[in-house]
Amino acid sequence: MQLPDNFHIAVIMDGNGRWGEIHKKNRVAGHEAGMNRVGELFDESTKLGIRHLTLFAFSTENWKRSSFEVNGLMRIFREYIKRESAKILGENVRVKFIGDKAAFSKDLIAMMISLEDQTKENTGLQLNVAMNYGGHDEILRATRKLLAQNIAPEDLTKELFENALDTAGTPPVDLLVRTSGEQRISNFLLWQAAYAELYFTDTLWPDFDANELKKSIAYYNERTRRFGGN
């Protein structure tokens, strides 16, 4: 498949809870199945030449879910980092957690920072994992950061603002995928996805395999990108 240099795909991994219920399990079991799908996705992304992959793992709104589901997700995040760190390092993947880490427990924060530090020199796939992330929250935090630097309004540029975002150094999103049939972007990468192609599929996230990824890229390749031109 032909892809532009620095191709960036972002994925809203939706449908885990429904998958669990459909399979006569609980919602946390669905999240476990969904997390197991992540490794296959970044393996296939590397094979296809995708340079940047951003995954929506936990939103600022997800704290409103039941304590059973939230606690289950926190356990899954810890287990995944422990289990997959060696593989991530071995495959030359660079990991960055975007979002406001401060809301998480100290041990999970330490695990995220450690994985970022261990992989910061890697030169392969850039994997961004959005944790306690919301587009509105990110833009507010970036604005506060710039205000704290006493930047004059007339000196504020698009480049300065982008460098204050969590995704600084990552190119804009080319393709935004959402699984499970919902057709909205749900406060995800509002700035970065301004000109992204949007691909919606009924497939639930735990069933989104390599073939589904290729379908989304085939859809992208059929699009004509004008960026506001004729």
Q: Which two tokens stand for residue 141?
A: 């935090």
DSSP three-state, residue 159: helix
Q: Is 211 a catalytic residue?
A: no
Distances, alpha carbon 27 to alpha carbons 19, 94, 96, 185, in Å: 8, 30, 26, 22
Lookup result for tokens 């970022």: 116
**Phi–psi pair at 184, nearest 5 degrees:** -155, 165
Among candidate residues 16, 36, 43, 62, the one labeled active-site is: 62
Reading phi first (left if > 0) and then psi (alpha if -120 to 50, else beta), residue 48 is in alpha
Q: Is 14 a catalytic residue?
A: yes
- What distance in Å separates the CA atoms of residue 225 and residue 31, rounded to the nearest whole number? 34
- What distance in Å separates the CA atoms of residue 91 and residue 53, rounded to the nearest whole number? 14
Q: What share of the chain is helix, strand, coil (3-state, %, to 5)?
A: 50, 15, 35
Question: Which residues are part of the catalytic machinery?
Answer: 14, 62
